[in-house]
Each structure stands twice: as structure tokens, then as C-alpha cells.
């Protein structure tokens, strides 16, 4: 018998760490961070929790490692009642990761690292 799914999300997972500052600094200065947030982003992390609201059977397929960022994505999906059984474990993989500095005016700079992403 063929397994049927209501939703199977396949895609890139990413984690954004946002650092809020009162104003964007010039080079070579120290600036106090006023707040920080972590968000799971990318189609995999964003759409699956939204689809969970439909109360259908949801599954995710992505390639993640055992690092903190991979664990964060997996836990976030599980909190939204998304089945993570089909996540492919790869010790050399991790989600995209960005550190984003945001000032009070909403201006931002994104520093990203995609070196551990394994898309095969």
C-alpha cells in the first residue's frame, strides 16, 4: 500500500538571529544590543507551522545535522505538530544561518553562512 500524506514539505531550513541596536554602528565601535530574537525561517520552517493549522497530517523532509541550529528547527516543527520522521540526518549538514543587525528605523544588515547546507 502506498503511503499518502496531506502535506509533505521539502525545502531549505534556515535560522535567523536578530540583534536590535539603537543605531547602526560605524566600523570599529562597541554597541549595546537592546534585544535579540531567534526565528526559524525558510519555506520549510515558515510554511509547515502554518499548514499545521489545517489539522491535516504534515511531514517534513530536510537534511539537518545534530548541531544546535538543526535541533532548534526540528523542535520548532514538532511544537507545531509537524512530523519530523523524514528529516534526513547528516552530521555534516546544518541549516542556513544568518545574524541580522536591525536599528530602530528598521534598517538591517544580514550576515549569512550557508557553508553547512547540504542540498543533495
Domains and CATH numbers, the chain: 7-113 (3.40.1190.20)
> Closest by alpha carbon to 109, among 119, 98, 120?
98
Q: Is there a contact between 110 and 100 (Cβ–Cβ < 8 Å)? A: yes
Q: What sign results for the dihedral spanned by CA atoms 113, 117, 119, 120?
A: positive
pTM confidence score: 0.74
The chain-wide mean pLDDT, for the chain, equals 80
Q: Give pLDDT tens digits for 50-90.
A: 665 665 666 666 778 889 998 998 888 887 777 788 788 88
Q: Which residues contact residue 108 at a Cβ distance below 8 angstroms, ignoring those fewer than 6 apart?
A: 100, 101, 102
* Rounded Cα distance, 37 and 86, in Å: 28
C-alpha cell at 24: 547602526
Residue 94 clears pLDDT 70, i.e. is over it: yes
Amino acid at each position: 500500500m502506498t503511503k499518502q500524506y496531506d502535506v509533505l514539505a521539502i525545502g531549505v531550513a534556515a535560522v535567523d538571529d536578530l540583534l536590535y541596536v539603537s543605531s547602526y554602528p560605524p566600523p570599529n565601535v562597541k554597541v549595546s544590543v537592546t534585544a535579540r530574537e531567534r526565528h526559524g525561517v525558510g519555506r520549510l520552517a515558515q510554511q509547515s507551522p502554518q499548514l499545521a493549522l489545517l489539522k491535516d497530517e504534515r511531514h517534513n523532509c530536510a537534511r539537518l545535522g545534530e548541531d544546535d541550529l538543526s535541533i532548534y528547527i526540528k523542535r520548532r516543527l514538532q511544537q507545531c505538530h509537524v512530523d519530523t520522521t523524514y528529516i534526513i540526518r547528516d552530521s555534516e549538514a546544518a541549516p542556513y544561518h544568518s545574524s541580522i543587525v536591525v536599528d530602530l528605523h528598521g534598517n538591517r544588515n544580514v550576515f549569512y553562512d550557508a557553508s553547512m547546507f547540504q542540498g543533495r
